[in-house]
Copies of this chain bind each other. A is one copy, B any other.
């Protein structure tokens, strides 16, 4: 079985590349592999991590066809737990993480990017955002806070309620990503940003970083995610209709 996460070391910086073709749909296996790879990078004491995907799609978000095929709320909960454990591993990592977004990053793909320190995105017709309402899902407060801390409450409200995906130019303009580069340079530029932090005294930098990101870790606390509500609402007609329409589009 090929690895779901490809690992490449560049000195003390490690690149973790999502590798579940065609669009890195986030099923539990990929989520748990990502969680473990982030924990391993911390255990190996790397200086920083590049989280890469693509090309053309960083990650298409949660694997909705997989979720729709699950039998029972226990399996559904396990799938969501796996996703949030990956998000938490990123949010709570002791080392800086730069997202290399060489393509689209909707929904769960955007959530993972928001848990990183810095986001480099490919210039061009690629889109990013939290489009949960488009497919009939409620974005819980914890997820909303991830977006609010990056783009502010006004833009977050507009984007979340409308389930809006923005292109890379608008993402840069509103601060949802930090830098746009040609698609082939995305991982390199993510790494170069991490290298600027390698020159700093490590302990004070990391302690300062932990303080700056305390709200990020808090946003992913189970109380802020209200997983019970998410699972209860799963079978609501609106939600099922939205999800099945999405799955049908993906199947074409």
Contact = CB atoms under 8 A, between A and B. Distances in A.
Interface in A136-191: 136-141, 144, 149-158, 160-163, 175, 178
A162 B204 contact: no
A207 B162 CA distance: 12
**Copies of the chain in the assembly:** 3
Interface residues of A, number: 52
Nearest to A156: B212
A208 B214 CA distance: 24
A118 B154 CA distance: 9
Given A175-B154, A212-B161, A134 B241 contact: no
A72 interface: no
A178 B207 CA distance: 30
Interface in A118-145: 118, 132-141, 144
Interface in A193-227: 196-197, 200-205, 207-209, 211-215
Contact of A141 (B139, B149, B211): B211
Contact of A197 (B153, B155, B161, B214): B161
Contacts of A213: 157
Contact of A132 (B136, B163, B208, B242): B208
A93 to B, nearest CB: 13
Q: Which of A134, A160, A162 has the most CB of B within 10 A?
A: A162
A117 interface: yes
Contacts of A196: 162
B242 A162 contact: no
Contact of A200 (B96, B149, B163, B202): B163
B153 A202 contact: no
Closest 3 CB pairs of A and B: A201-B238, A136-B201, A157-B212
